[in-house]
Structure 1
Amino acid sequence: MKFIRLATIAALSTTILAGAATAVSAAEVREVTTNGQVEFRSAGEEDGELEVIPPEVDPDVEIDPEVEGTTGPLSIMKAATMNFGSQVISNQDQVYNMIAEMQQLRGTEGDENKVPYVSFAQVQDLRGTNEGWDLQVSLSDFTSNTQNNVLTGAEITFVDSYMDYVGSNQENAPVTHEAGLTLLPNGAARSVMTAAETKGAGASSVVWGDQADLDAKFADDTIEVVENELIKLSVPGSTAKDATTYTSTLTWELNLTPGDEV
């Protein structure tokens, strides 16, 4: 009798253990998901100075910010400086091309390592709010300290431009001005680059000039002065001109609220 009872107990124990093994196998987990996270904030003074990002053309150059120590988060990083050269006094209406701006080749020093480069104005928007902005420019009179001290009727014209936007989604690029935009001395500021709401985050440049054309002129030994033909100064022949240098001020202003599309 004792032998029979022990055998029965052993058989029952085996059945129970087998059932437990089946339950563990059914609860196996072979795939899970977890979360990743990153937070961004507007750039500030504590994050260091911003750098100008040249348009995506060769050659590779280094350009200092228009205002040293610019930190953002919404800033004008570069604007065009305009020199229309030395011209002969004329009693005829004249149009003069801008002398191409010269920029330093990256990693070099000295004026001998500067090359003609397209002119541009750059805005960097690191606010992270996608609110938009409007870059405008105005022109003062060309003046001197001589008898005929105002170059009456002088005007600057942006013949044409193109947009250089550093961003993976080009649909977020701002728009540039229409061809033939003219600046009148002491006239209203004109928009040269506008980012509507939801656009303009990152680095945006309105560019004036054809880099291939500038390179070709620079390589031509018969050309002494390389000119950028997309920015011009027109001066009436009737304007009295003294044998001196006339200077003007271009004021570039970045509005936080975008204006009408240009």
Structure 2
Amino acid sequence: MNKIYIKSAAALAALMLVGPLIAPPVFAANANYDTSGDVKFVTGDTGTKPVDPTDPEKPVTPENPDPTDPVKPPVEVTKGLSLDFASSLAFGKQKISAKSETYYAHGQKILDGNGAVSGIVPNYAQVTDVRGNFAGWTLSVATDGQFREKGTDITSTPETAAPLGTYLTGADLKFSKGVTNGTVTPAKPSNVNSATFSLNTSDQVLMSAKANEGMGTWTYALGATADYDSSARSQDAVAAQSPITLTVPGSTAKKAAAYTTTLIWKLSDTPGN
């Protein structure tokens, strides 16, 4: 019994000696427990409503020069990349002149909540890229041909064979003061055509986005609101200034009639250079 007792006592003594060498628990001032917060993005919806080109965070309701001609809906290039809007142009009702004359385009009319014209903004085109692949794109414009009398079929009645006065032969449509504005400001398209240039049947690049550019909604506007004659709001009004001009030679035969051309705004998923 004694031997057993001694052995047990020795074990207890050993425990008593080791015990004080084990560090007591340490309590921090705060207990941290990490968790995660996740979000996943997918390609967005195309067809963004038109915005004010001077304030791209502000939606607007644009109206064509002819209020009976509705604004066309957005056109999707591919899922997430769309051409949302492009202005139609009006140069008013002009008197026939035997001299060379330059005519000025009206600004883009904007409607208020009651459908009344509340003001103007620069004429513009609008692109939205919410694909999420940062691949870039290119916006260009061309015309389908020279200004001609409304109703003229340019296929069956080309300018070279048309009766005198059918086409505004030699007329020159020019754009100037191009500027871009957008929502994702670090991704501004690097190529913006700010020069003065004539439109024709060849595509003219207005702005293009390289890879890692052009995400979000971007507008290409011709000048600023102050560059337009704000009093020219009716379809027949004669404007006194604009970054968009139509020059018609005095030598061109003109009918007492309405003339028109078609502007072809083109968005492609080809990145800029």
| TM-score normalized by the length of structure 1 | 0.76
Query: What is aligned with 1:211?
Result: 225
2:41 is equivalent to residue 40 of structure 1: yes
Unaligned runs of 5+ residues in structure 1 are none
* CA deviation string 1:120-172 (max 9, x = no partner): 111111111122111111112211158521111112111212111211415x4
Counting helix residues as a fraction of each chain, which structure ranks higher?
1
Pair 94,217 (structure 1): closer, same or farther in 2 beyond 3 Å? same
User: Would you say the 8 A contact 1:165–1:173 is kept in 2?
Assistant: no
What does residue 231 of structure 1 align with? 244
- Identify the residue that residue 119 of structure 2 maps to in structure 1: 115
Q: Which moved more, 1:143-152 or 1:156-165?
A: 143-152
Alignment partners' CA distance in 2, 1:25 and 1:259: 61
Q: Output one character per residue of 1:53-95: Cα deviation in whole Å (capped at 9) or x when no partner.
A: 322349x662269543656511111112100111111121111
Corresponding residue to 2:179 among 158, 162, 179: 162
Amino acid at match of 2:181: D
Residue 134 of structure 1 aligns to which amino acid in structure 2? T
Question: Partner of 2:110: helix, strand, or coil?
Answer: strand
RMSD: 3.6
8 Å CA contact 2:73, 2:84 repeated in 1: no
3-state SS, counterpart of residue 26 of structure 2: helix
Q: Please say if 1:25 is aligned against 2:26.
A: yes
Q: Given the superposition, is the C-alpha separation of residues 225 and 233 from structure 1 closer, same or farther in structure 2, using an over 3 Å criterion?
A: closer
Normalising by structure 2, we get a TM-score of 0.73
Residue range with higher mean Cα deviation, 60-69 or 124-133: 60-69
Match of 1:138 in 2: 142
- Name the residue aligned to 2:129: 125
- Pick closer, same or farther for the CA change 1:41–1:212 going to 2, 3 Å: same
Q: Which residue of 2 aligns with 1:99?
A: 106
> Could you tell me how far apart the structure 2 residues matched to 1:48 and 1:205 are?
15
SS in 1 for 2:212: coil
Q: Structure 1 residues 120-129 or 30-39, which shifts more?
A: 30-39
Task: Count how many residue pairs are aligned between Structure 1 and Structure 2.
Answer: 243
Q: Is the 8 A contact 1:42 1:127 kept in 2?
A: yes
Hey, what's the Cα distance between the residues in 2 that align with 1:77 and 1:48?
8
Q: Which residue does 1:55 correspond to in 2?
A: 53
How far did residue 117 of structure 1 move? Answer: 1.7
- Aligned in 2, Cα 1:61/1:38: closer, same or farther, shift over 3 Å? closer
Retained in 2: the 8 A contact 1:66–1:76? no
Residue equivalent to 1:177 = 193
Q: Percent identity?
A: 28
Distance in 2, Cα, partners of 1:28 & 1:11: 36
Kept in 1: contact 2:46–2:82 (CA 8 A): no
